[in-house]
């Protein structure tokens, strides 16, 4: 499937390459699904089993980083396939870059905007937040990566811009605006349905039923991402971290085709 998409994009490999770009991306997806995003293990095993031709780990990493724009294009094409329903779920997930005690020595990022707090674990962390929109079946259709301190409402309009008009987007209490709990959800295209806090306007029975029925799905999606090692990625560069996240999201999408 990746090979067909790259051909449709008129992407051509270098004539000297023995391993195609589709094979490089497939190895990364296999690493996400079965080896917690450990690329070296995936390369060695797939090479020994004869799925790909001989390629060194160093060469694999260089080829993988050269495909950054292709990763995003493939993700955009595949997520657009599933933007056809009228019910979606949105939530955020912490993506620490390093342990909090090492934040001052982090060479990748720096600044107060990267200090965030995980409400579920009741602890602070240093890094990014993954904001994800998925279908009621748990298939990712939109995502964004923001500094950890940013409010969950900041990327909402960007994430919902490509969803079908009048779609219902279920959210948790993190998507409630204290200053104006009514006006912040008056979007022209979609209906954002958050779970209101106790001191706010109560949810209708219909909305509360939808939230209770479908909200656990995105928790299951984040559980799968956590098993793929998304919250404890080991990498030397930020692009390498993002590539591992892209391959994890593609893994969830390809699971829907099984």
Residues 53-73 pLDDT 10s: 888 999 999 999 999 999 999
- pLDDT, residue 187, reads 53
- Mean pLDDT for the stretch of residues 71-84: 93
User: Are residue 96 and residue 189 in the same domain, yes or no?
Assistant: yes
- Mean pLDDT for the stretch of residues 21-48: 94
Structural domain span for residue 129: 84-232
User: Are residue 43 and residue 101 in the same domain, yes or no?
Assistant: no
User: Are residue 29 and residue 113 in the same domain, yes or no?
Assistant: no
- pLDDT, residue 168, reads 92
Residue 111 included in any domain: yes
Residue 178: pLDDT over 70:
no
User: Are residue 140 and residue 216 in the same domain, yes or no?
Assistant: yes
Residue 177 included in any domain: yes
User: Are residue 149 and residue 56 in the same domain, yes or no?
Assistant: no
Distance CA 132, CA 218 (A): 9
Residue 90 included in any domain: yes
Which residue has better confidence, 28 or 161?
Answer: 28
Residue 39: pLDDT over 70:
yes
What mean pLDDT value characterizes the chain?
89
User: Are residue 116 and residue 187 in the same domain, yes or no?
Assistant: yes
* pLDDT confidence bin for 16, thresholds 50/70/90: confident
Of all residues in the chain, what percent carry a pLDDT higher than 90? 62
User: Are residue 125 and residue 183 in the same domain, yes or no?
Assistant: yes
Residue 88 included in any domain: yes
User: Are residue 109 and residue 208 in the same domain, yes or no?
Assistant: yes
- Mean pLDDT for the stretch of residues 47-57: 88
* pLDDT confidence bin for 191, thresholds 50/70/90: confident
Contacting residues for 51 by C-beta, under 8 A, at least 6 apart: none
User: Are residue 54 and residue 116 in the same domain, yes or no?
Assistant: no
Contacting residues for 21 by C-beta, under 8 A, at least 6 apart: 6, 11, 13, 63, 67, 70
- pLDDT, residue 184, reads 47
What's the number of domains the chain is made of?
2
Q: What are 95-134's pLDDT values in tens digits?
A: 999 989 999 999 889 999 999 998 878 899 999 999 999 9
Residue 75 included in any domain: no
User: Are residue 16 and residue 117 in the same domain, yes or no?
Assistant: no
Residue 79 included in any domain: no
User: Are residue 153 and residue 212 in the same domain, yes or no?
Assistant: yes
pTM of the model: 0.90
Residue 223 included in any domain: yes
- pLDDT, residue 186, reads 47
Question: Which of 3-7, 135-139, 235-239 shows the lowest mean pLDDT across its residues?
Answer: 235-239
Of all residues in the chain, what percent carry a pLDDT higher than 70? 95
Residue 182: pLDDT over 70:
no
Residue 174 included in any domain: yes
Measured CA to CA in angstroms, residue 173 lies from 8, 69, 92, 132, 177 at distances of 41, 34, 11, 15, 9
User: Are residue 23 and residue 139 in the same domain, yes or no?
Assistant: no
């Amino acid at each position: 499937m990746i090979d067909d998409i790259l051909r449709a994009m008129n992407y051509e490999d270098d004539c000297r390459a023995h391993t195609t770009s589709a094979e490089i991306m497939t190895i990364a997806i296999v690493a996400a699904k079965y080896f917690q995003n450990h690329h070296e293990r995936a390369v060695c095993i797939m090479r020994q089993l004869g799925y790909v031709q001989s390629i060194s780990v160093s060469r694999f990493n260089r080829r993988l980083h050269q495909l950054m724009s292709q990763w995003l294009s493939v993700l955009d094409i595949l997520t657009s396939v599933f933007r056809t329903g009228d019910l979606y779920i949105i939530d955020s997930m912490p993506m620490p870059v390093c342990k909090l005690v090492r934040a001052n020595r982090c060479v990748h990022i720096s600044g107060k905007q990267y200090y965030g707090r995980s409400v579920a674990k009741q602890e602070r962390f240093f890094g990014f937040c993954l904001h994800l929109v998925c279908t009621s079946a748990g298939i990712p259709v939109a995502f964004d990566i923001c500094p950890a301190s940013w409010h969950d409402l900041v990327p909402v309009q960007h994430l919902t811009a490509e969803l079908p008009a009048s779609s219902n987007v279920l959210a948790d209490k993190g998507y409630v605006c204290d200053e104006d709990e009514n006006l912040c959800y008056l979007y022209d295209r979609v209906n954002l349905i958050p779970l209101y806090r106790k001191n706010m306007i109560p949810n209708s029975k219909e909305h509360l039923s939808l939230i209770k029925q479908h909200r656990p799905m995105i928790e299951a999606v984040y559980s799968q991402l956590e098993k793929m090692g998304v919250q404890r990625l080991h990498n030397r560069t930020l692009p390498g971290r993002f590539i591992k996240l892209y391959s994890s999201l593609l893994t969830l999408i390809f699971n829907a085709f099984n």
